[in-house]
Chains A and B, each alone.
Chain A
């Protein structure tokens, strides 16, 4: 059974699919369980795509459609960049580019108690983790990892944040390190925080290097590895 499941979808795996494409026919793979990720939907006996993108398959039985959007659909355990919109008694209201405002409980900080609630002004930039993302509920965020440690989450001070697409964020987070970051890292020193919601924050010693990094990253979205290298070299030359 397992073999069949792996063999059949090969027609579509790593191929472009558009909404409505029948990706899998369940009747041909009786008894096998498969896991569906984003962009796929079960319709009676078939699995159809509902987003345009590349169909990915991971062993043993995971399928999902990989695409790039400006919009973000919250998903548990994603690391995102959020902007504080308002403060309520129990929660900070945080915009994470999703369809609904996310809640960040005021106690969801390392060692957080009623006595040491942080004060965030409206517009503060936070690096947070999505804890719950259920439909019909506002997503819940946390500034701790699963073990209750801060591990980098929390407020991002200074620097520059820009918005791009979720695809670019994934590219920046992929390993091995994507070419833009690799070359930039060799030439300049800077800090970067990438949120899966398409927000990227960059900070560096001088404003000029921050601007360079930000623009290089924004330009790199549609470029191949080699093109990225050339683009970054050009930008670096222009500055120096």
Chain B
């Protein structure tokens, strides 16, 4: 019993009162205004399809992988997209190891709804052999540090990882055209996913006072807030998903006002994500040039050295 008391993070009543009362005068404890986001930085791993997003103190890693599998029976011509979340106890003492908890499930479902049900990723182009073989895309989201507002950070991580993911090109051959050849990255340039639009999640927190709404709540604000609304929008002004799972009631007009603010913020975020992906692609292209011009340098680097054998094939594409 006492052990349990000692292990949970807790907040003093002073903080609760202070956060609420200063919000009445539009002040937040980290010096932001109500509708400001924290500093966002998007980094990419060396491999395609991995991203690392830091939103204030929140840290999320996204990793996209693809696998060739038989399709679902009811959708023989479509690939699939699945989101998996991992809340490591490392990120927050309240996360438990093992089975994903309620929050992990909710987070996964919000992102899943935003990305999949709005058909942001073209799944039909992931079909290789109708009814037999499709690409199954798996997005793993790992929460590394919980500083509040995991949904937005995880959503950005998922988008950034999906945008930089490349799958090997496949062609059909054989007499009946039923044989699938998976081309290695050296033979043929891997293909990016077809992304129709970018649904960006924007989270609002509501407090016990009716008129107080903030964007991107921190860990402390989340402990005080009475309700949360996550709106997923794209730059076309479409609402792709909304989640307000209970909590304090808000007026319908407030919800609509939130949506309008969210659409502005979503445009903001989209350009940030696109910029980051752009610069990643430049670096990536640059890296490839180097790989061929300086083979000695390549052999030092473990990750690329394996691919050296088929350099001749790859060079052809270069030229």
Contact B5 A93 (CB under 8 A): yes
Chain B residue nearest in CB terms to A121: B13
Q: A95-B6, A99-B6 are in contact. Are A125 and B14 (CB under 8 A)?
A: yes
Tell me whether B72 is interfacial, beta carbon within 8 Å.
Answer: no
- Known interface pairs A160-B29, A207-B27; A83-B5 also in contact (CB < 8 Å): no
A83 and B11 alpha carbons, distance in the complex (Å): 8
Quick check: is B17 within 8 A (CB to CB) of the other chain?
A: yes
A167 on the B face (CB < 8 A): no
Nearest residue (CB) in B for A95 is B10
Selected contact of B14 from candidates A98, A201, A211, CB within 8 Å: A201
Q: Are A158 and B18 in contact (CB under 8 A)?
A: yes
Are the C-beta atoms of A158 and B17 separated by less than 8 Å? yes
In the complex, which residue of chain A has the Cβ closest to the Cβ of B23? A207
- A156 located at the interface, meaning its Cβ lies under 8 Å from any Cβ of chain B in the complex: yes
- Is the pair B18, A207 in contact by a Cβ cutoff of 8 Å? yes
A209-224 residues at the B interface, CB under 8 angstroms = 210-212, 214-215
* Complex partner residue of A124 from B2, B13, B18, CB under 8 angstroms: B13
Type the 1/0 row for B200-221, where 1 means its CB is closer than 8 Å to any CB of A. Answer: 0000000000000000000000
Number of chain A residues whose Cβ lies closer than 8 Å to a Cβ of chain B: 29
> Could you mark each residue 3-42 of chain B with 1 if its beta carbon is under 8 Å from any beta carbon of chain A, else 0?
0011000111111111101100101111100000000000
Q: Which residue of A83, A86, A212, A214 contacts B12 across the interface (Cβ within 8 Å)?
A: A83
Contact among A86, A124, A208 for B27, CB-based, below 8 A: A208
Pick the contact of A101 from B5, B13, B17, B31 — CB < 8 Å?
B5
Query: What's the nearest-Cβ distance from chain A to residue B29, in Å?
Result: 6
Contact mask for chain A residues 133-163; partner B; CB cutoff 8 A; 1 contact, 0 none:
0000010000000000000000011111110
Let me know if B2 and A93 touch, CB within 8 A: yes
Residue with the greatest number of chain B CB neighbours at <10 A, chosen from A93, A123, A159, A214:
A123
Chain B nearest CB, measured from A94 CB (Å): 10
Let me know if A123 and B16 touch, CB within 8 A.
yes
A6 at the interface (CB under 8 A from B): no
Contact status A160-B27, CB under 8 Å: no
Instruction: Check A100 for interface membership: any CB of B closer than 8 A.
Output: yes
CB of A85 within 8 A of CB of B5, answer: yes
- Name the CB-closest residue of B to A215: B31
Q: How far is the CA of A77 from the CA of B254 in the complex (A)?
A: 52
A191 vs B11: C-alpha distance in the bound complex, in angstroms?
20
Please measure, in the bound complex, the distance between the C-alpha atom of A210 and the C-alpha atom of B2, giving whole angstroms: 33
How far is A121 from B19 in the complex, measured between Cα atoms in Å?
Answer: 18
Q: What separation, in Å, do the CA atoms of A138 and B1 have in the docked complex?
A: 14
Q: What residue in chain B is nearest A216 (Cβ atoms)?
A: B31
Alpha-carbon distance A158/B11, docked complex (angstroms)? 13
Chain A residues whose CB sits within 8 angstroms of the CB of B17 once the complex forms: 158
Residue contact A211 to B6, C-beta cutoff 8 Å: no
User: How many Å lie between the Cα of A207 and that of B28 in the bound state?
Assistant: 9
CA distance in complex: A98, B2 (Å): 13
Which residue on B lies nearest to A163, using beta carbons? B9
Q: Can you sample 17 A-B contacts with CB below 8 Å?
A: A83-B12, A85-B10, A99-B6, A100-B2, A100-B6, A123-B11, A124-B13, A125-B12, A125-B13, A156-B14, A160-B19, A161-B12, A162-B15, A207-B18, A207-B21, A210-B18, A211-B30
Q: Rank and list the top 10 A-B pairs by shortest CB-CB distance, nearest first.
A: A207-B22, A123-B13, A125-B12, A160-B18, A125-B14, A83-B12, A85-B5, A101-B6, A101-B5, A207-B27
19 other A-B residue contacts (CB within 8 Å) besides A161-B15, A211-B22: A83-B10, A86-B5, A93-B2, A93-B5, A95-B5, A99-B6, A123-B11, A123-B12, A123-B16, A124-B12, A124-B13, A125-B13, A157-B14, A159-B18, A201-B14, A207-B18, A208-B22, A210-B22, A215-B30
Chain B interface (Cβ < 8 Å from any Cβ of A): 2, 5-6, 10-19, 21-22, 25, 27-31
